[in-house]
Amino acid sequence: MNQNGFKISQEKQEEFISLQYQALRNEILGIKERLIKVQLGGITAIPFIIGSGLQYKLWPVLLVSPVITLVFAFMVIFEQTSLMRAGAYLKQKTENVLVPIGFMGWEEWLERSPKGRLAENFFAWSVHIVFSVYFFLGLSFVYEAAKNLNFPVVIALGLVAFYTGGFSWALYVVIKYLPKGTSDFEVVTEQNNTPPV
């Protein structure tokens, strides 16, 4: 029976789940492609922006370089979360229907085989570390840029403190609230139909 109370055959349900599985697999491929582009774009664009700001004394660019780095970092985190969310849905809602008893679906295998994701984890962490270095590199030039724009010392130091506080808050949010893997997603079922608060 569907959500509107109409009867649907087992065959139609399995066909729907199979189509959904294929669509989500395609979505995952698209997410991975975008994720790599954002990571590589950030790794090359951020130092180019900071370097150009220094070379050509573009003080306003240097003033916002930490924000540019955070934008790239959040784009990476958004794509990673989308990837995990799709994987969690596949594991929890489609693989348990499509995968025969005694076999293991891809998402289940990945979750049980941490070494299967070792290269992905290494690449993801290396990008986070590089973005953090870029952030603090940009932060080191904020004070200099503010001085060259004739900002009072209090405002220049305030900008550094503001960016540092923003980075700390963003780091706290990422560590505390964002999922670390597909098992961190809760799927609402008939037995548990209230969404998490």
Q: What's this model's pTM, rounded to 2 decimal places? A: 0.84
**pLDDT tens string 16-41:** 999 999 999 999 999 999 999 999 99
Determine contact, residues 143/157, Cβ cutoff 8 Å: yes
Residue matched to tokens 């961190």: 184
**pLDDT tens string 88-122:** 999 888 888 888 888 888 888 888 887 877 888 88
Domain ranges of the chain: 11-184
Determine contact, residues 72/42, Cβ cutoff 8 Å: yes
Determine contact, residues 160/151, Cβ cutoff 8 Å: no
